[in-house]
Amino acid sequence: MLHPPLRLVEPPGLAATSEPALTLEGISLAFGGVRALGDVSFDVAAGEVCAVIGPNGAGKSTLLNVVSGVYSPQAGRIVTGGRAFRRLTPNGAAAIGIARTFQNLGLFPGMTVLDNLVMGHVGAVRSTTVEQVLGLPRARREELEARERAERILELLALQNVRHKPVDGLAYGVRKRVELGRALVAAPRLLLLDEPMAGVSFAEKCQMCRFILEARDELGTTVVLIEHDIGVVMDLSDHVVVLDYGLLIADGTPAEVRADRRVIDAYLGVAHA
């Protein structure tokens, strides 16, 4: 069966002539007077893989939470898809093509791999509950589209052999792939991955890197990810952003960031006056 293309954005090869997929301008957020993010600004080019790194507590997950609408910043704005936002909600982020995974797996136990993937399309549903209950044409079209997209992602992530298996019986590394797939079913313009390779083996990390690059190349998705394995970051990323205590301390290519004294000091815990 032929499946419709999932691409919603221009291919990576056109990224050089397009506006950034994401721009953060002066993002600041504090919890109870404790700074989580302080005046963070950077661009993510369309079609690139951007890694956000930094020591524990640097504000990395908080940053993704701001972009995905989980947290609202006290200052700054988010620019994506040609629109600027002071704040987003999770539903609003999904509606403009932002998808997200979390550190802790959020799959539906007891449901199969295929059904978990189909659930990733929920944010794109426009039919009403009445239309779905009555099986009206728009609801049927959306259900068929969700199934077709899920089939494409099963193939892309090599999950066909476990399609009908409950996710809670699968190995951890496979469940990580399922979560990636569920985010991809929505065909996002911008994909936010919070430690997609945490807790998996070296071989599984290599496999996950390949799947992320294939998603970028085949679906035209821009990727922003958090990753602690510096070797993975240097090999996978086009662009690296470094946070330390909520502040942006470096922003550049992997080679530039690797040689930055501030980054080296932050990871070594060197204090400065």
> Domains in the chain and their CATH numbers?
18-97+188-273 (3.40.50.300), 106-187 (3.40.50.300)
Residue 146 has pLDDT above 70, yes or no: yes
SS3 (DSSP) at 147: helix
Q: Give the contacts of 42 (CB within 8 A, at least 6 positions apart).
A: 23, 24, 241, 248, 251
- What is the spatial distance between Cα 211 and Cα 42, in angstroms, rounded to a whole number? 26
Q: Comparing C-alpha atoms, which of 114, 82, 86 is closest to residue 96? A: 82
Q: What is the pLDDT of residue 267?
A: 78
Token code pair at residue 107: 């799959």
Angle between helices 172-185 and 202-219 (to 10 degrees): 10
What's the predicted TM-score (pTM) here?
A: 0.85
Give the rounded distance of the alpha carbon of 135 from its chain centre. 32
- The amino acid occupying position 56 is N
Grade residue 124 by pLDDT with cuts at 50, 70 and 90: low
Q: Write the pLDDT tens digit of every residue in 214-264.
A: 999 999 999 999 999 999 999 999 999 999 999 999 999 999 999 999 998
- What is the spatial distance between Cα 72 and Cα 166, in angstroms, rounded to a whole number? 35
The whole-chain average pLDDT of the chain stands at 86
Residue 273 has pLDDT above 60, yes or no: no
Q: What is the pLDDT of residue 135?
A: 63
Token code pair at residue 236: 């996978």
Residue 208 has pLDDT above 60, yes or no: yes
- Which residues face 29 on adjacent strands? 37
Contact indicator for 229, 262 with CB cutoff of 8 Å: no
Cα atoms in the 13 Å half-sphere on the side-chain side of 58: 23
Q: What is the pLDDT of residue 26?
A: 98
